[in-house]
Amino acid sequence: MCTALRSQLALTPMNCPLPRVLTAFLLITAFQFTGPFLGAPALGRTPAQQVLPQVTLRIGSATVKAEVADEIDERTIGLMGRTQLKDGEGMLFVFRNPQRLGFWMRDTLIPLSIAYLDGAGIIREIHDLKPLDETAAESTFSDLVYALEVPQGWFGRSKILPGDKVLGLPAPSTAQPE
């Protein structure tokens, strides 16, 4: 197309829009499909939120340094867009009122395990979560005020089970209401 118009419009290969449009399309398409593998968010994915304030939690002899998500936007984004989470790290979701909880993995690229805790800090349930799975891991219990996400399998490797108590939790009253 540009060759035929070149003589009429004095277009050169450098100012012909077709190659630039095609190049832009190819770059965008390549980024969309390779972004998650290169550590960059793909188009349409939720970008990772900034690192949140942290607390050190103790569960038996294990410790986890957890970011605290106690505001609605922080809880909504969670670990979406993150490309790594080391053993001994996690995110603690804090809710003001006891409730049934359910978490999914939209735009979450790393496999996680989640523990649901009651207001006394007792682990009631542990679930494994698959990256990008939008099926909610719903709790059986309805008295939950915390959820702790860690790298998948960390609870098992650390010998942590339902019934164990988590120490160092912030008060639920610090959480923004739902």
Q: What domains can you pick out in the chain, each with its CATH number? A: 2-37 (no CATH), 54-170 (2.60.120.1140)
Say how far apart CA 61 and CA 20 lie, in whole Å. 59
Mean pLDDT of the 106-117 span: 97
What pLDDT digit, counting tens, does each position of 14-23 carry?
454 444 433 3
pLDDT at residue number 81: 94
Q: If we measure between CA atoms, which residue out of 134, 143, 152 comes closest to residue 116?
A: 143
Say how far apart CA 69 and CA 39 lie, in whole Å. 23
Mean pLDDT of the 49-54 span: 92
Split at pLDDT 50, 70, 90, the class of 4 is: very low
pLDDT at residue number 45: 79
pLDDT at residue number 87: 96
Say how far apart CA 111 and CA 108 lie, in whole Å. 8
More confident residue, 32 or 64: 64
Split at pLDDT 50, 70, 90, the class of 44 is: low
pLDDT at residue number 47: 87
| Across 32-46, 146-160, 164-178, least confident range | 32-46
What pLDDT digit, counting tens, does each position of 154-177 carry?
999 999 999 999 999 999 998 998
Say how far apart CA 157 and CA 149 lie, in whole Å. 14
